[in-house]
Amino acid sequence: MTARMKDKVVLITGAAGTIGNAVAQMVERESGKAIRTDLASHKGQDFALDVTSEANWKAVAESISKQYGRLDGLVNSAGIASLGTIESEDFAGYKKTMAVNVDGTYLGCKYAMPLLKVRGGSIVNLSSVSGLVAGHNLASYNASKGAVRLLSKSVALYGARLKPPVRSNSVHPTFVEGAMVEDLLAKAKSREAARERMTADVPLARFAQPEEVANLAVFLLGDESAFITGAEIPIDGGLTAR
Ligand SMILES: NC(=O)c1ccc[n+]([C@@H]2O[C@H](COP(=O)([O-])OP(=O)(O)OC[C@H]3O[C@@H](n4cnc5c(N)ncnc54)[C@H](O)[C@@H]3O)[C@@H](O)[C@H]2O)c1
């Protein structure tokens, strides 16, 4: 075991999910304190936090301020996937996707910033390959993940002016083995054909493992990446290289 997260307090949203949980476990394995948050329906979290609720964010930030006096890292992993073309998806669906994926990330950066700037810190925002390249049936998901990409850069430029600085980067996975992909496969006519189609564009010809994404997040949270900010980092088996 190494101790890349020693003395670091890291807040993770969507921590009951595939990637959030993998990040929380890796932060703890690396000797850090993971503060796990997710919707109230998920038991076993440190805080119930609906990322779309400003009141929830204020309350959680206040509790963390009282308990720890600071944050060293924030991982905005809460997110929802949505399938639909510009014609087929209804406006309500679009607004829900934008609320969780964009408002949630915005509020996270906003309310964690006062705690992160106490000692300097690092924000990792979960975008997606869908924040870099589009799909015909991903209208709202593409819009939301593209917004996360540039929000991360604006936060990075603001955070770079602070002393000590707060870094901010976005990570862009392709399909990751877990609940979100299982949901998509379950909607397909043939699971196997859908899985084949989904891996066909990936040069390394497989989905990502949650631990591989967690590894990247922990690298970005840690001191080894001290000069990396405002970056968009694909973790996609080469998908966006062509
Ligand atoms: N899984 C993939 O293939 C994949 C690929 C690229 C990007 N991503 C992104 O990575 C992030 C994590 O994905 P995952 O695979 O862990 O998904 P997941 O579905 O396993 O977990 C997402 C978590 O977010 C939580 N959540 C949903 N709405 C919320 C809200 N309003 N407030 C708080 N929590 C909420 C859910 O309860 C769930 O625990 C998401 O932003 C997703 O868009 C995932």
Domain boundaries, the chain: 9-173+209-231, 175-207
- Name the residue with the closest Cα to ligand 1, atom 35: 78
Alpha-carbon span 138 to 119, nearest angstrom: 39
Indicate if the pLDDT at residue 142 is higher than 80.
Answer: yes
Annotated catalytic residue within 94, 106, 111, 141: 141
Assess whether 141 carries a catalytic annotation. Answer: yes
| CA 222 from centroid of its chain's CA atoms | 16
Q: How far is the CA of 161 from the centre of ligand 1 (A)?
A: 30
The reported pLDDT for the residue numbered 184 is: 84
13, 49 Cβ separation under 8 angstroms? yes
Identify the pLDDT of residue 165: 98
* Res 32: pLDDT: 98
- In this model, does residue 1 exceed pLDDT 70? no
232-235 and 166-173 beta bridge pairing: parallel
In this predicted structure, what is the pLDDT of residue 103? Answer: 99
- Helices in the chain by DSSP H: which ranges? 18-29, 54-67, 91-98, 104-116, 139-160, 179-187, 191-200, 210-221
CA of 54 to the centre of ligand 1 (A): 19
Is residue 166 scored above 90 in pLDDT? yes
Interval 140-157 mean pLDDT: 98
Look at residues 155, 151, 150 and name the one whose alpha carbon lies nearest to residue 167: 155
User: Quick count: other Cβ atoms within 10 Å of Cβ 231?
Assistant: 16
pLDDT digits (tens, 9 = 90+) for 41-99: 999 999 999 999 999 999 999 999 999 999 999 999 999 999 999 999 999 999 999 99
Amino acid at 27: V
The CATH classification of domain 9-173+209-231, taken from the options 3.40.50.2000, 3.10.20.30, 1.20.120.1770, 3.40.50.720 = 3.40.50.720
220 Cβ below 6 A of ligand 1: no
Q: How does pLDDT run across 176-208, given as a tens digit for each residue?
A: 999 888 988 888 889 999 999 989 999 999 999
Q: What percent of the chain has pLDDT over 70?
A: 100
Ligand 1 centroid–CA 240 distance in Å is 21
Residue 196: count other Cβ atoms within 10 Å of its Cβ: 10
Q: Order of strands across the sheet with 47-48?
A: 47-48, 33-38, 9-12, 73-76, 121-126, 166-173, 232-235
Q: Is the CB of residue 100 below 6 angstroms from any atom belonging to ligand 1?
A: yes
| Cα–Cα dist 140/89, whole Å | 8
pTM above 0.95, yes or no: yes
Does 52 sit in the ligand 1 pocket, CB within 6 Å?
Answer: yes
